[in-house]
Every structure is written in C-alpha cells, then in structure tokens.
Amino acid sequence: MAGLLLGVALDTVLGDPRRGHPVAAFGRIAGRLERRMHADAKPRGVLYTGLCVGGALALGVAADRLAGTGARRNAAGARKREQLHDHGGGSPAVFAGPGVRAAGVGAHGVRTSGGWSLARTATTGLATWAVLGGTSLGREGTLMARALEAGDLDAARARLPHLCARDPRGLDAKALARATVESIAENTSDAAVAPLLWGAVAGVPGLLAYRAINTLDAMVGYRNPRYENFGWAAARLDDLANWIPARVTGLLTVACATLAGPAPTSVAPCPDAGSGEQLHDHGRGPSAVIMQLFPLPRSGPRGHRTERPARARTVSARTRTASAQARTASARTRVASAQARTASAQARTAIARSRESYEVLRRDGGAHPSPNAGRCEAAFAGALGVRLGGVNSYDGRVEERPELGDGRPPEVADIRRAVRLSRAVTLTAALLSAVIMHLFARATRGGRP
C-alpha cells in the first residue's frame, strides 16, 4: 500500500520523465518486434501480443520476487540478530517486551513478518510512477486550454495528437474543446484508474502487464487495413483489461462531479443577500425612536445653545451605541442567513450534478462503440453538463459517434473543469486502490493485522 501511494505522489510531483521513460522504451521494443512479425493475420497478432505482454509480466514478476527476496533476507537477519541480542543481554529488544516482538518488529526496527521491506516499497513505488499518466494528462489538457484561451488555433491543433489520434486539421475551437474533454475522460481510466486498480490486486506484475496491454492497443489496436487483423488481439485484450476500471471510473466521476467547478456561465447574485443600502439604512428602526426621544440641541431665543444635563447626554450616547450594535447584529444575521442559503444551494447543486452524471452514465454509457470509453465519457458529460459525441475524423476515416448527455456543446472553459474532475477522480482512485491493497494483504495473511 505504501509503495502504491508513493508512486502516486511521485507522479503528482514529477509527472512523466522527459527522457528515458520506461513505457517509451517498451514502445520502441514493441515497434521493432511489430515490424518483424507483422502479417495480415489474427494468429500472428495473438503471438505478437502474447510476447510483448508476457515479457512485461515476466519483468514484473522478477522485480517483485527480487524485492521479496531482499525482504526475506532482511527478516532472517533481523531474527538472527534478535536471538543473539536475547542471549547476550543489553539489547533494546529485551526491553521492548513480548508485545513488540509479537507484532513482528525486531531489534533494529525491521519488520520480520508480512514481507515488508524498503526494497519492496521502492519497487512498487517506481513501477507505479512509471505506468501512471494522470499528471501528464492534466498538463496536456491545461496546455490545450491555454492555447485556445489565447486564440492560437495552430498551437492547439499541434497539441491535439498528444491527447488522441483524431485529425486536428480544420477543427475550430469548439471541436478542439470537445476532442480534449472526451480524451481527458477516456484517458482518466486508461492513464490513472486502471493501472492503480491492477496494481492493487496484482502488484508490480499487474502494473507492468496492464501498461503493456494499453500501450499495444495505442500502437496497433486500430481498425485500418494494416491492423484490422494483426491488432485484433491487442484491442480485445485492452477491452478486457479495462472493463472493470472503466466502470469504476464512471462511478468515481459520479461521486466527484461537484469538484469540477461551476459551469462557464454568468451567475446572478443572490437576491436574498441584501444590498449595502439595506445594511446601512438609518431612516428606520431604533435610531428613529431615539431621535424622537432625544432630539439634537436647539438654539435659544438669542442664538445661545440650550445645554442638556450631563446624565441625559450620557444616556443618549449609550442608546446610540446600543442602536448601532443592534444594527450590526442584524446585518451579521442577514449575512449568515445568506451564507446558509448559499451553502444549501451548493449542496443541492452537488447532488443534482451527481444525479445527472449517474443518469447519463446509465442511459448513454453503452451507446459508444467502445465498450469502455463510453462509460467514462458519459459520466464526464453529465458531471460537466455538456454534450459529447459527434463526427470525428481519423486519418481520413470519418466516424459519427452517438451523442452522450443532454447539455450544451463543450466550451474552452470546460477543458479546465475536465482537468479538475480528472484529478479528483485519480486521487479518489488512489485512495480506493490503497484500501483494496490493504484488504488483499490482510486476506493473504489470514486476517492478521
């Protein structure tokens, strides 16, 4: 669990390395193998996919076993040192008591049960960092938003291939915004949620094997003359590996819908909050009564000021102070009431967004030609209050996708909202995966903590 969270933290802080990325290295090896093995036949594609995925899986198993061997050696050494210290006396383990040793902590603070070691945590953390792409996905979305906000369509079109394989030529700002939102929605599962879930249930081998499957699908999983048959196995295996993660992504999107932020529309001020004139109206209320009881000093017949007794002036000052305090308390009460109404409206909005996201996910999630991408895009469409889908062009091949959601077409401002939502879903998936990994660890230890 610690290794998985370490990898998430590394990805959040560092993102993908610019050079020497392990996934890029795998892609180069798989590309060379594809050029040698390619044939317009499904069996050849099955063999190619098996070799690539099997190699990544074997590498993950070897790394996991190597880290486990180090853990077992550390545990054996700790037990031997503990026995020597117990016989020799003067050891901190002697004073630690049986409870600490029963928990599996040796004389040097090394856990001797459960297979924990720094090497295993580091291995899992590095593997998780290598396969995650949530931070890079968010950065690409932000760069696209900046280009479109600046009105630089050429720069935005040049960035689109970093997100998807759609042909950017001729796309206007709204079409680029839709393509970006759809890509962020789909890749939230592929780049973040799916690897985290596979790492939670299968450790380092699951992390590396999933990333190999997903990378092969991005390389050869296309419906074109070259890869229609050869890439069939990679595409079907990717569909299988993402079946559960895509649906988990949809449900996490429903739960995080309100974190996307407000829609890019002008919001009228709350009419119940009152205005500054209402808060400072001195023509009504206690002050008017005070002025009647204690009028201002008037001039006498010869222009001399009529003096009031000192006690009357003191009472008048105290009464005016009390009146001011009463007005301040009344204003604070109105402000608190307005804040309460605002919080209530926000809570209702959050519930409405989650409900809309779930309804669109349930209704439109299966309409997409992909068995998995539609779940993610439909949930995002409902959460953002937009309508996704439409005509897409891929290397001259035009596809008309069904529309997902009932809202307006995506705008440029919706890209940043999609990035915020994707980050929230990724963080929630990390916490969920840590819990799953903890439960799996408890189950393998027979319920022992």
Per-residue pLDDT tens for 284-342? 444 444 444 445 454 444 444 445 567 777 777 788 888 888 888 888 888 877 777 76
Place of tokens 């008591």: 97
**Inside any domain, residue 242:** yes
- The proportion of the chain whose per-residue pLDDT surpasses 90, expressed as a percent, equals 57
Query: Domain for residue 303, yes or no?
Result: no
Beta bridge partners of 180: none
pLDDT tens, position by position, 66-91? 887 755 556 555 566 666 555 554 44
What confidence tens digit (pLDDT) does each residue in 9-35 have? Answer: 999 999 988 788 999 999 999 999 999
Q: Which residues of 352-373 are buried (b: 16+ CB within 10 A; e: fewer)?
A: ebbebbbebbeebbeebebebb
At residue 269, does pLDDT exceed 50?
A: no
More confident residue, 316 or 131: 131
Neighbouring-strand partners of residue 305: 299
State the DSSP H helix or E strand holding residue 204, giving kind and residue range, or none if neither: helix 194-220
Whether 340 maps to a domain, the answer reads no
Q: What is the pTM of this model?
A: 0.75
Question: How far apart are the C-alpha atoms of 57 and 131, rounded to whole Å?
Answer: 13
Within a domain: residue 15?
Answer: yes
What is the tens place of the pLDDT at every residue in 349-359?
678 899 999 99
The chain-wide mean pLDDT, for the chain, equals 82
**Residue 296 domain-assigned (yes or no):** no
Determine, yes or no, domain membership for 300: no
Separation of alpha carbons 383 and 367, rounded Å: 18
Question: What pLDDT score does 442 carry?
Answer: 82
Structure token pair of residue 419: 């990035």
Contact 37, 44 (CB under 8 A): yes
* Region 216-221 average pLDDT: 95
Residue 10 belongs to what domain range?
2-264+357-444
Residue 259 covered by a domain: yes
Q: How many domains does the chain have?
A: 1
Give domain status of residue 342, yes or no: no
Assigned token pair, 189: 């599962």
